[in-house]
Chains A and B, each alone.
Chain A
Amino acid sequence: MTEASPIVLIVDDETQIRRFLRTGFELNGFVVHEASTGAEAIRTATLRPLDLVIVDLGLPDMDGIEVVERIRSWSSVPIIVLSVRSSEAEKVRLLEAGADDYVVKPFGMAELLARVRVALRRQMRAVSGEPTVKAGPLTIDLSARAVLLNGTRLALTPKEYRLLQVLAQHAGNVVTHQHLLKEVWGTTHLHDTHYLRIFVRKLRQKIEPHPDSPRILVTELGVGYRLAQPEADNGAFAVIQSAPLQAPAKP
């Protein structure tokens, strides 16, 4: 984390949810602001400097997705959406509206914090212009257009590199099928998911230590792919899970 405490805005109409999120974030060194309506959230976002916004989808005055769109219209602050067991179509809609990630309720604090760290790190990288992305044994040098596995340079076809590049630019976050197809194959192939499947298979053969149980290029069923990244604070190589209820195992 940075020297200064990151500032997070929690937007949820339920007091109990806000309370546990505030406690959880404060225990992890965040400064917390709260908003219980969409209008209040937008006002706070314009008035205060923020490092992160957590938005609940069901707000009393407007749809959470509208809050995402409004904030995104002027700010690049990372936004993570809390939704009730949403359909995959809704997740895609959220990501396309500009949300960085989503967490499905009910969720554990650890799961949310993992997402938050990924989002903050991506923001930091964007600001500093850091050209390399690390994902476990894989290093992607975006400026040199080079991909290294355990220090050895990999030979990738231009399309394979392009796919990895788009994922690396959003390292840690989900990138939707549509976005990947548009970036790699162009707008005429937006629905040819099978291209993507076949390419990902090939790419996994090259970059994954165990291609049949991938840990770097991770599938988000029905939504897209994400380039999984190691946790910054403990250095462990952890897959960030998307499904609800993935809190750590029983002690």
Chain B
Amino acid sequence: MPRALNFDRVRSELRHIAATLGLVGVVTALLIPVIEVSGLRHGSAAYLIPVLIAAVRWGIVPSVVAAVCGVVASAFFFYPPRYSLQISDPHEVLNLILFIVVAVVVSQLATRLKRELELSRQREIDMRDLYAFSRRLAVAFDVSDIHAAIEDHLATIMQRKVVLFAGAREASMSGGQHAGTSIPPQVLAAAAETALEPRDPAGGLTVTLDSGEVWLVRPVSPRNLELGVIAVNFGRESPERIDELRNRVDAVLADATATLERLGVAHAISEARMRSQTDQLREALIGSVSHELRTPLASILGAATVLAAAPALANEKKLKALAHDVRDEAERLNNDIQNLLDATRISSDGIKPRVEWADPQDIVNSAVDRCRYRLTDRRIALDLPADLPLVQVDPVLVQQALVQIFDNAVKYSSPGSQIAVSARAQDGRLVVTVSDEGAGITADEHPQIWKRFTRSERHTATTSGSGLGLWIANAFIAANGGKITAASAGPGQGSTVTIELPATQAAVPQLETDTDD
């Protein structure tokens, strides 16, 4: 044991002994008047109280001290001749010997109880950590989730800053930023090297920075590099302390790897990796297929419109109708492909909104405009006050979300029914609602409507669709810091989709708006 630790322990022991003495003093002070008044002679049993307290709270040494002090105080204060350590009656001597035996046995028992209590408390904490850890592992979807779980688990049990690198690539590419904290380049280099070819897989290597901070870099498991490389910040410590911490890290990691292996983490990691590769492949496939499909669509659609307007077909109603069919179906296909492309964009690159000040009226009008032909046999009721606040959003994304909502409203309502669009400013937000008189939403469908590729079984037979529309709308609105919700009074009662966007007042200096050139 290093000296520093011993010194600390002695100091706290001394503090406990002092507290014990204090307790004995308090008991004595309380006993003296009681004995004086009542004339009782055997007060020594009361000294079991400080013995018990000291044993339970501070352990064996203070409790023995309490027992001895209790004997001395009894002899001095209560047994005749009083105020002297001499004891005249041999019975009293026997009493005191019995007292000391009882006190020591009790303090032994109490100390053991205390130790077991602490042990079981620690075990409970460990179990809780482990349980939380295994639960996180169970819901971890990809490798990075698993690594984050390992990282947090190790940080909890070691009480130090812990950074886990999934591999050499992550270590060299993270650019010194990892989960929001900065990591010195020397540590990154060491981690990258260790991930590729550990010099000392079991012990790892320490990196001492110019500032005096010491980091330990080592594989989580010397046997399984799949589990990653860990870097622990020891801070500024003496060499002896570092050695001690390293031993602790070894112990904790040996424990943790055993757990990780038992939980099948390595297997989970490789499985998650495979899953993400499959996802990537699917996205890439959808992306390239959609792109390839669009090129011929441009020719098909263009040619169909030329044909439909050709003078040769001017009097050929049926042929003209055929050309229009080709055009309409090409448009429909184009919309479906557009949805697939949007979906790929959302899940692969994420959406990067081009934020600007926009007039909500413009956004709604242009969305209605884009759907004009799909909305021809619906009654559109627009309610757009002239004094709506400007919003800072990507107007095109919001418009596309609205188009999806209109599309949906048309799909699930009958010709001639009304679609009402209104916009309001409310508590610093812009609220746009789209209400239809269509099929509505059942309680079962409600949690499903925002999910990808989800379509209600009520409608699969009667309407076509990919189940992407509302999912895309949701993603586009969320990318603008907004929120989208749906409500319905029930099946056949129509539904209302509400978009909320943050609206802050645009600052326009009055001078700028009305001054002349």
Contact = CB atoms under 8 A, between A and B. Distances in A.
Do the two chains bind? yes
Interface of A: 14, 16-17, 19-21, 23-24, 27, 84-85, 87-89, 105-110, 157-159, 162, 177, 185, 192-195, 197-201, 205, 211-214, 219, 221-222, 239, 241, 243-247, 249-251
B512 interface: yes
Contact of A16 (B296, B321, B399, B512): B296
B354 A222 contact: yes
**Which 6 pairs from chain A and chain B are nearest by CB?**
A194-B357, A16-B299, A108-B305, A194-B506, A106-B298, A106-B301
B294 A106 contact: yes
Contact of B516 (A23, A157, A239): A157
B296 A88 contact: no
B148 interface: no
Interface string B366-409: 10011011001000001010100010001110010000000000
Contacts of A221: 358, 362-363, 366, 395-396, 399
A158 B517 CA distance: 7
Nearest to A225: B362
A244 to B, nearest CB: 8
B339 interface: no
Given A105-B294, A211-B386, A221-B396, 4 more contacts: A17-B298, A27-B311, A157-B514, A241-B369
A17 B302 contact: yes
B495 interface: no
Nearest to A189: B512
A108 B295 contact: no
Contact of B357 (A158, A159, A197, A243): A197
B299 A214 contact: no
Contact of B396 (A24, A88, A246): A88
19 contacts: A27-B306, A105-B298, A106-B301, A106-B302, A106-B331, A107-B301, A194-B390, A197-B506, A198-B506, A201-B359, A212-B382, A219-B362, A241-B369, A244-B334, A245-B335, A246-B372, A246-B373, A247-B305, A247-B327
Residue of B309, B506, B507 with most partner-chain A CB within 10 A:
B309
Contacts of B301: 106-108, 245, 247
Given A194-B390, A219-B365, A20 B508 contact: no
A105 B320 CA distance: 22
A249 B384 CA distance: 26
Contacts of A201: 359, 386
A109 B390 contact: no
Residue of A87, A185, A194 with most partner-chain B CB within 10 A:
A194
B512 A185 contact: yes
B386 A212 contact: yes
B117 interface: no
B306 A109 contact: yes
Interface string B302-327: 11011001110000000011001001
A221 B516 CA distance: 28
Nearest to A18: B299
A219 B362 CA distance: 6
Contact of B358 (A106, A197, A211): A197
Contacts of A159: 514-517
A52 B386 CA distance: 40
Interface in B329-364: 330-331, 334-335, 338, 341, 354, 356-359, 361-363
Contacts of A158: 516-517
B376 A249 contact: yes
Interface of B: 294-303, 305-306, 309-311, 320-321, 324, 327-328, 330-331, 334-335, 338, 341, 354, 356-359, 361-363, 365-366, 369-370, 372-373, 376, 382, 384, 386, 390, 394-396, 399, 506-508, 512-517
Given A16-B299, A251-B320, A251-B321, A222 B310 contact: no
B373 A20 contact: no
Nearest to B331: A245
A249 B331 CA distance: 12
B369 A110 contact: no
Given A213-B382, A219-B362, A27 B396 contact: no
Given A108-B327, A197-B390, A20 B306 contact: yes
Contacts of A85: 294, 338, 341
A157 B513 CA distance: 10
A84 B294 CA distance: 9
Contact of A213 (B306, B334, B365): B365
A40 to B, nearest CB: 20
Contacts of A194: 357, 390, 506-508
A222 B359 CA distance: 11
B393 to A, nearest CB: 10
Contacts of A27: 306, 309-311
Contacts of A23: 303, 306, 310
A131 B515 CA distance: 27
Nearest to B291: A84
B496 to A, nearest CB: 21
Nearest to A25: B306
Contacts of A197: 357-359, 362, 390, 506
Nearest to B397: A222
Contact of A243 (B311, B358, B369): B369
A198 B509 CA distance: 12
Contacts of A17: 298-299, 302
Contacts of B330: 106
Contacts of A239: 369
Contacts of B363: 221
A195 B512 CA distance: 8
B309 A109 contact: yes
A106 B303 contact: no
Nearest to B334: A106
A110 B356 contact: no
Contacts of B382: 212-213
A17 B306 CA distance: 11
B343 to A, nearest CB: 14
Given A212-B382, A222-B394, A251-B324, A14 B302 contact: no
A54 to B, nearest CB: 12
A243 B366 CA distance: 9
A193 B358 CA distance: 8
A50 B394 CA distance: 38
A241 B513 CA distance: 30
